[in-house]
Each structure stands twice: as structure tokens, then as C-alpha cells.
Amino acid sequence: MPEGDTIFRAARTLHRALAGQVVTRFDTAYAPLARVHDDTPITGRTVDGVESHGKHLVMRFSGDLALRTHMRMHGSWHIYRPGERWQRPRSAMRIVIETAPFVAVGFDIPDAEWVKASTLGGRDDAIARLGPDLLAPDFDADAARVRLRARGDQPIAEALLEQRVMAGIGNVFKSEILFEGGVHPRTPVSRLSDDQLATLIALAHRQLAMNVRDTPGPRGGTRRTTGRMAPGEGLWVYSRGGQPCRRCGTRIASEKQGFGARPTWWCPRCQPAPAGVEPPQANEAPGHVAGAPRRPR
């Protein structure tokens, strides 16, 4: 699933390509979106801008209209020149927004809706339900800490994925934040001090921010948390089950946790389990999670 940094970069690219341009063609595979286009055409409207809200991407149009999309596991937005061949099959197309200089194509996007731009986030909609956005200019770390503390005895690895706590963290950053913070993923939130929570929030903010820097060249889009530029050395623990810890050499452990049984990786020495926290069972052997990706995403 694309995480907050990926959506931020996608929104930035779409904004640069489309903002200020007039829509010359709109197409969609979704009847609810097409119905709005039939009643109040999207063609002829100007793209006012594109922005991210956690893992949601919002495209604003003139006439107080906005398109909110969520990529879920496999969705993505591509930018092409008019007439350029798409890199994905047409069967994967869900939304097309064409302007004179560029065409934006949304592939395999499962969650899309039209909303009034002026009310977006103002009521109990998908944006309003989000916690503080880690990549927003006005990110409120104190509000995030209050929301995180409210998770009580929930394991910290699961709490970090709650978008109502903080918006933008996914499975990669979850494991990387906990490693840098030296916190075992099964630790209940209630067992962590306010200073520890503040440290994890600061790490989350720093890690996401460093991965949306407008860096030129081929490495600009490669996710990194270690600060190392060599290929294959960008992440501390994510998807490195069974490999040596980059700090102490201990074999990286992994297990599935929480809703959806999402895998978590950690170093048993750098992130020791606190007293009373049960270690993984034998069938949760460190170093392997069935079906987990073997390369950083």
C-alpha cells in the first residue's frame, strides 16, 4: 500500500503537471463519477490544485468540486503526454483527466469520490477522520501524542498504523520508526512514557519528511531511512527478516500483527521486549513471514 510519502510525491507531480490547466477530456470506469460528469461536466473546468492528506489524494477543480482518491494496495496515478503509450493496460484504467500538455491516468484505484471542495474535511468525511498529517506544514505533534496515548494497551506497532492517530504511516515506516526508537513492536502504548511517544512521533515526522525531499536524479524517489545511498542499504529492518541488523548484527525478526496480519520487522537486541510482553511463538519464527515482500517498497 502506498504510504504518506508516496502520495505526497504523487500529488506534487500531479500538481506541477495539471494545476492551472483546463480539462479537455474526462473518462472513468466508475458510474458514480461518470454520473457527476454527465450532470455537471468536468471538461472545461480548471484544475485548481492537487494535494495529499495522509494516504488520500485530492484534486481540486473550479466550480467547488474535488476528486478524492485512495490507492489502497495497488492503485497509482501516472502522467503522460497526450498520445503517449500507457505503461499499464487500459483494463486497469479507472480515471482519466486530460489537459492540453498532460494526461493523468489513475490505475486500479478502488476508492474515488466527488466532493464539494469547500466542505472537504469540514465534517465527518474521510479527510476529517484523519489524525494530524505528518507531512502537513502545520503538523501538530502534541495532538498526535494525545491521540497515540489514547490507544491504551494496543501494541505500538498497531497504533502507529491507525490513521486517526497520525496520517501517513504505513507498514514500512511502522517498522523503521520503531527500530530507530528502540521500541519492541508488541509494547503496549500504555507502557511507553510521554517522552518515548514524543520521540516516536518526531522520528515519524523526520522519516517521512526526508523521503519527500525534492531531490533530483534517479535516487530521488527511493525510500530511505538509514541515510545510506548504496543500493539495498536504504532501510533498517523492513523486509530484512533473517538478515543481520545494520547496527548490532543480530538476525532481524518478523511476525504478523493486528488487523490484516500485517508483517512487522525488528531487531531483538536493539528493540528488546519489555517485561511481561510475550515474545513470538515458535511458529512465528524470526526471519520469515509467508507472503511478505522480499525487497523494500
55 is catalytic: yes
**Which residues does 142 contact at the CB level (< 8 Å), separation at least 6?**
none
278 is catalytic: no
User: Counting beta carbons within 10 angstroms of the beta carbon of residue 184, is it exposed (0 to 12), middle (13 to 18) or buried (19 or more)?
Assistant: buried
Cα separation, 210 vs 244, in Å, equals 25
263 is catalytic: no
State CA 133 to chain mean position distance.
11
Enter the DSSP assignment of 260. Answer: T
Query: Which entry of 2, 155, 263, 286 is annotated as an active-site residue?
Result: 2
Q: Which three cell numbers stand for residue 196?
A: 518515548
User: Counting beta carbons within 10 angstroms of the beta carbon of residue 146, is it exposed (0 to 12), middle (13 to 18) or buried (19 or more)?
Assistant: middle
Query: Which entry of 94, 223, 240, 262 is annotated as an active-site residue?
Result: 262
Cα separation, 64 vs 73, in Å, equals 29
Query: Which entry of 55, 60, 68, 174 is annotated as an active-site residue?
Result: 55
Query: Which entry of 3, 51, 162, 176 is annotated as an active-site residue?
Result: 3
Is residue 167 within 8 A of residue 53, CB to CB? The reply is: yes
Positions marked active-site: 2-3, 55, 262
